[in-house]
Amino acid sequence: MTKSEERKIEGQKTLASGYVTLDDLKKAGNIPPDGILEARAVPIIDDIEEIPCTPCRDVCPTGAIIMPSMNDPPKVKWEACTGCTLCVQACPGLAITLVNMSFGRKVLKRNDIALVSIPYEMIPVPKRGDRVRVYDRGHNYLCDGEVYSVIKSVKFGTIVINVLVPKQYALHAKYLEVIKGE
Ligand code: SF4
């Protein structure tokens, strides 16, 4: 079986579940080893199919996103990522989150908290300190989180919310809902 045929079968499995699961991403090599995950920010790209789409690769200032042809699913050179979030801002499919497992340890002196950068299209846009509900790829509730900061990208017209979540949910976190009235 060719690589292309293998990828098409992966895509069919994904369609069967209705969305890309964390297991799909692990099998496709889109989740880094634990050692890298604990040490640095990494983009998690929910794309395992042959889709002709290259903004993440094109915008990355360090060449961390590898896509030999425009139809190849993106792969990440983990050590080259600086955590700038430009790929999250540039992705038209909102398919990328940036997971920073070491943020709590390095910045907040808390080893149980991670920072996840999530693209956001809803109104109102939350602000620092707001509480949000965090959901997984299947829209299942995971946990509450706290907005640490908000990136408003003038270049791409996108909003990226940096949210603090318990580390065990960081790789699953995909969608946010602002908790109103608090
Ligand atoms: S976060 Fe920045 S450096 Fe890392 S892959 Fe995305 S664009 Fe490249």
Show the tokens assigned to 176. 């946010």
The structure tokens 């509450």 sit at 144
**Which range among 17-21, 73-77, 83-87 shows the weakest confidence by mean pLDDT?**
17-21
Q: Are strands 141-153 and 96-100 parallel, antiparallel or unpaired?
A: unpaired
> What is the mean predicted confidence (pLDDT) over 97-111?
97
pTM of the model: 0.91
Predicted local distance difference test score (pLDDT) of residue 73: 94
Question: Using only C-alpha atoms, what is the Rg of the chain?
Answer: 16
Predicted local distance difference test score (pLDDT) of residue 15: 55
- Buried-exposed string 42-76: b where 16+ CB fall within 10 A, e elsewhere: bbbbbbbbbeebbbbbebbeeebbebeeeebbbbb
**Which range among 17-21, 71-75, 117-121, 124-128 shows the weakest confidence by mean pLDDT?**
17-21
Q: How far is the CA of 62 from the centre of ligand 1 (A)?
A: 7
Predicted local distance difference test score (pLDDT) of residue 148: 98
Question: Mean pLDDT, the chain, as a whole number?
Answer: 92
Predicted local distance difference test score (pLDDT) of residue 180: 79
Predicted local distance difference test score (pLDDT) of residue 98: 98
Residue 13's pLDDT band, with cuts at 50, 70 and 90, is: low
Pocket (CB within 6 angstroms of ligand 1)? 43, 59-60, 62, 64-65, 81-87, 98
Residue 122's pLDDT band, with cuts at 50, 70 and 90, is: very high
Predicted local distance difference test score (pLDDT) of residue 9: 56
Tell the residue nearest (CA) to atom 3 of ligand 1. Answer: 81
Q: In a mutational test of the pocket of ligand 1, which residue from 86, 96, 162 has the highest number of ligand atoms less than 8 Å from its CB?
A: 86
